[in-house]
Amino acid sequence: MAVRAWLVDVYKVVEQSMWPTFQGGTDRILVQRFGPGPRRWEIWLYRNEEAGERPSVKRVIGIEGEYVDFRMGDLYVGNTATSLSRSRPPPEVLDALLVPVYPTAWGKSGKTRFNVLPDASRLSCDGPGLRFDASGVGSAGVTASLITGQGTTREGIYDDSIDNHGQWTPGRHKVPDIRIDLIVEDVEGGGTLRIVHELEGGREDRLVAIGLGRLRLLRGRDGRGGYRILPWGGTFPLALRMETIDGRFRVVRRDAETGAEVAVLVEEHRDTAAHHGYSRVRFRLDRGGARLSNLSVRRDIYWTWPPHHGGSGPYHVDHGVFMVGDNPSVSQDSRHQGPIADDRLLGWARVLLWPKNRFRTLP
């Protein structure tokens, strides 16, 4: 008990403000009471004056003396209001911040906003179009098809989230950065499978084409902007990652068993101000069939000021630390309450203890 009281403590996460890093109502974290001062991207527990001194847990994004701002979903930090630059988390933190993208009903029309495919998927030809058969989709209790008709898709990827009651809520902002992971088990019948990052306007579309023993990158709408051959031995299964993270378009070939990664393409690419975010993920198949597995789509976190801030420019952290939840649309944090004074900090979150299937050290 003495160790628990003086060195570490266990805290039950009760809100969804740190989703998807923590799941409110179930997760328990180990908090280290003593240690070095807080650094950017660390998760800390503090006494929340707005909640009757009840402990809250958030992520540090700004340090005393800095200026912070949110622009087009990105965090900007600097020592003066006129010298801000985009701040990106280290890879281990970035992985934790990526939000899973699920299919879910939205709006009176029943349109869907989340684009994801389940494991053990199959694409196949069905007359002039494509059909995707979703089997065993448990996310949000919805079974849905990614592809309809002539390869059209749902609306784009937004900063949708879950509220403190666990209900999905639609977001207002298109998310610029996404990551697609999948394993192409096989492409059959002489067909070519195209995985498309589609941007609004189409001029900056990127297509990865797999078939006939070749792996190609195509540019522009429907690949009319030229192509480039990417290294691949022509054998299946082929594990791929496509992402637009850190302002780059990357294609990574992964070992299906060990997970080792080899980047086969890195392009400086993203121009958020021009196209307002990557809007769609599409799959196209010209003939034959394709078998996919372990397919997931995740989006980057979308940082934004609450409406009352009014876009009035950078915020000066004049004391303590500036803390924000990983679920910005739900979280009540420094954007609403101001910086957290040092004497309100209770400890550094080090380990996700429970549930045991999610046990891990925290970056």
At 267-276, the pLDDT tens digits run: 766 555 544 5
pLDDT at position 142 over 50: no
Whole-model pTM?
0.79
For tokens 């006494």, the residue is 47
Percent residues over pLDDT 70 in the chain: 74
pLDDT at position 107 over 70: no
Within 10 A of 241 (CB to CB), how many other CB atoms are there? 15
Beta-carbon contacts of 189 under 8 Å, excluding residues fewer than 6 positions away, are 287, 288, 289
CATH topology for 2-87+317-361?
Answer: Umud Fragment, subunit A (2.10.109)
Query: What's the confidence (pLDDT) of residue 103?
Result: 43
- State whether CATH 2.60.120.200 applies to domain 99-299: yes
3-state DSSP percent of the chain in helix, strand and coil, to 5: 10, 45, 45
Domains of the chain by residue range: 2-87+317-361, 99-299
Q: Judge whether 245 and 86 are in contact, CB under 8 Å.
A: no
Highest mean pLDDT among 40-54, 129-143, 305-319: 40-54
**DSSP-assigned states of every residue in 281-348:** EEEEESSSEEEEEEEEEEE---B---GGGTT---EE--SSEEEE-SSTTT--SHHHH-PBPGGGEEEE
Residues 143 and 258: their CA atoms lie apart, in Å, by: 31
294 CB burial (10 A radius; 0-12, 13-18, 19+): middle
pLDDT at position 109 over 60: no
Helix (H) or strand (E) holding 266: strand 261-268
Helix (H) or strand (E) holding 93: helix 91-97
Highest mean pLDDT among 152-161, 301-310, 342-351: 342-351
pLDDT at position 227 over 70: yes
pLDDT of 70-87, one tens digit each? 988 889 999 999 999 989
Q: Judge whether 100 and 116 are in contact, CB under 8 Å.
A: yes
pLDDT at position 1 over 50: no
Task: Give the residue among 84, 60, 68 at the shortest CA–CA distance from 316.
Answer: 68
Residues 147 and 282: their CA atoms lie apart, in Å, by: 8
Terminus-to-terminus CA distance in the chain, angstroms?
A: 26
Q: What average pLDDT is seen over the chain?
A: 77
Highest mean pLDDT among 32-41, 179-188, 197-206, 331-340: 331-340
Q: Judge whether 220 and 202 are in contact, CB under 8 Å.
A: yes
Query: What's the confidence (pLDDT) of residue 159?
Result: 83
